[in-house]
Amino acid sequence: MSERDKSVLNELLDKNNDYKNNFVENVTGECSKINYTLIKNSNKIPIGLMMINWNYDISLINTLKIFIPEHSANNTEIKENKNSKSEEIILDAIKKVITGIDKDEVGPSVYNKTIIRKLFNQGIFEFKESVQIVANYLNISHHTVYLHLRSIKKIKKIDNK
């Protein structure tokens, strides 16, 4: 550990900070960033210091290549499933909600809104692609889903006042 690194560690401990970023230029003129992160145990006691040196003269793609495994002809390629895990979660939630709603009991005009409200209450719309998946499954436009979501949020806001 260099003297500069020790100095940063002492500064983090003295100021009770968890991280610090230093931007430096070396003698050859290369710019880099050093990210210091204090590692703490479950009792919030410092147990280590992680330092990441980012060299800005190397492209991000070249930097990230070291984290990506290379595939040769002998290796079996990893193929992504057609449905992502989040899509499976969303579709399962839709199916469960639909089985719990009697279309005749709620009426056709509020059927989709009831489904969307129940999915909203479950937090399904926190997923990035959820609006489009729900719209496709219910055979409605994503604009209609957003319309129902705005209405649900407006009612919840009024109820919280």
Per-residue exposure over 48-57, b if at least 16 CB sit within 10 Å of its own CB, e if not? ebeeeeeeee
pLDDT, one tens digit per residue, over 10-55 is 888 888 888 888 887 777 677 788 899 999 888 888 888 898 887 7
- Spatial separation of the C-alpha atoms in residues 17 and 26, rounded to whole Å: 26
Choose among 99, 113, 106, 117: nearest CA to 156.
Answer: 117
pLDDT, one tens digit per residue, over 84-124 is 688 888 999 999 988 888 877 777 778 899 999 999 988 88
Q: What is the DSSP-derived secondary structure letter of residue 126?
A: G
